[in-house]
Each structure stands twice: as structure tokens, then as C-alpha cells.
Amino acid sequence: MITLFLGVTGARATTEPEVKAAFPFNFIKSIDWPPVAFTNETAPIVVRVLGETPLQELLPQMVQDVKVKGRAVCIQSLNAGQSVAHCHLVFVARSEAAPAQELLRATKGKPVLTVGESPGIHLQRKNDQFRDGGKNGSF
Amino acid sequence: MISFVMVERTVRFEVNTTAMATAGLRADSRLLAVARRSKRNQSK
């Protein structure tokens, strides 16, 4: 399964940034957004990157000329405090822990997938509980 | 909703399925299967 995920990207990930860049791309392919998240049936999937990370260069290369579920994928940078309207995935670099909390509040309940380079970006709430994922998967 | 974690020098990720469901996002079961761990509400 791990090979399948990487194989679909067409990339041979060797360095840590390359491996991490493969993740958001595979997340895009594995997540279904509700129709309300798009203005029309061919609107692109918009990915925005918050903070300094090699992924800002790697991701555009990875999604160039690629369509996911009939949609192009657009990579943009995001500054702290900037609106995430019309955005489908936000990648938060390790350097942006504090702005990330603001971002999580802004996106709560909205169809915006938040992906953090640092552990804990997904926050834990009182009634939430971890369970084993079942398999020791990794890319 | 998703965080990277380093486990024994390997990049893995964790998924907050509660937050995803609240946002109306649906994850492919294959994604959750390869997650290091996922999280959902204890109640209900």
C-alpha cells in the first residue's frame, strides 16, 4: 500500500522534504471535499503553504500538469493572518506553530484540510481520543 | 487535522478524524489505514 501511494505520485522520494511533499499530494487524492467547497465542477483544488519550507518549491513541481478527480491543483503561499477562503488544504510549516493556532480557529468547521509539519497541529480536545491506526503505515 | 510525526527516523502522520468529519471532509479508508494513529470522539 505504501508503494502504491508513492507510485501514483510518479516521484522517487529520497530526502525528507521530498517525502513530506508527497504526503499533501496523496492527501489531496485521498480526501473528498463537499461540493460546497468548490465554485464549480472544474474549479481547482487550492493548496496554500504557510511558512518557510522546501515544500513551496517541491509541491508545484509535483502537481504540474496533474489533475485530481478532474481538477487542477494550484499551490500558493499563505501569509499569517491571510484569509483561507476558497482554499482546500493548508500546509503549515514547522516554523509557524503560533500562527497555526489562529489558522485552526479560522478553519474550524470549514472544509479546509489542515496539515502540519509539527506534531499537535490537529489539536486535542477533551472528548477526543486516540485509537491505534491498525497498521504501522508510512510513506 | 493531519500532523507529521517522526518515528524512528521515518515520516509518519496522524489524523484527527473528528475534526475532518466536522469540516465535512471524508478520508479514503486507505489513508486512515496507513496513518500512525487516528483520533475520533470518545462519546457516542
Q: Does B42 touch chain A (CB under 8 A)?
A: yes
DSSP result, A4-59: HHHHHHT----SHHHHHHHHHHHHHHHEE--GGGSSSTTPPEEEEEESS-THHHHH
The pLDDT tens digits of the residues spanning A113-138 come to 999 887 765 544 444 433 333 333 33
For residue A93, give the amino acid letter. A
Q: Which residues of B touch A110 (CB under 8 A)?
A: 23
Q: Which residues of A touch B20 (CB under 8 A)?
A: 31, 113
Distance of CA A85 to the CA centre of its chain: 15
* Lookup result for grid cell 507529521: B4
Which whole number is the average pLDDT over A21-48? Answer: 92
Residue A122 pLDDT: 55
- Exposed, middle or buried, A36 (CB in 10 Å: 0-12/13-18/19+)? exposed
Give the model's confidence band at A88: pLDDT under 50 very low, under 70 low, under 90 confident, else very high. very high
Q: Does A125 touch chain B (CB under 8 A)?
A: yes
- Exposed, middle or buried, A109 (CB in 10 Å: 0-12/13-18/19+)? exposed
The pLDDT tens digits of the residues spanning A99-112 come to 677 788 888 889 99
Residue of A2, A19, A119 with shortest CB distance to B34: A2
Q: How far is B38 from chain A (nearest CA, A)?
A: 6
Residue A130 pLDDT: 38
Residue B17 has pLDDT above 70, yes or no: yes
Q: Which triple of cell numbers denotes residue B11?
A: 515520516
Give the model's confidence band at A23: pLDDT under 50 very low, under 70 low, under 90 confident, else very high. confident
Closest CA to A47 of A64, A36, A34: A64
CA gap B31, A61 in Å, rounded: 23
State the average pLDDT for chain A: 77
Q: Does A10 touch chain B (CB under 8 A)?
A: no
Residue A30 has pLDDT above 80, yes or no: yes
Residue A22 pLDDT: 85
Residue A139 pLDDT: 31
Residue A120 pLDDT: 63
Give the model's confidence band at A31: pLDDT under 50 very low, under 70 low, under 90 confident, else very high. very high
SS3 B28: coil
Q: Does B29 touch chain A (CB under 8 A)?
A: no
A50: which strand partners? A78, A92
Cβ distance A116 to A90 under 8 Å?
no
Q: How far is B17 from chain A (nearest CA, A)?
A: 10
* Residues of chain A above pLDDT 90, percent: 32
Q: Does A35 touch chain B (CB under 8 A)?
A: no
Q: Which residue of chain A has the CA closest to B28? A: A30
Residue A19's φ and ψ, nearest 5 degrees, are -65, -45
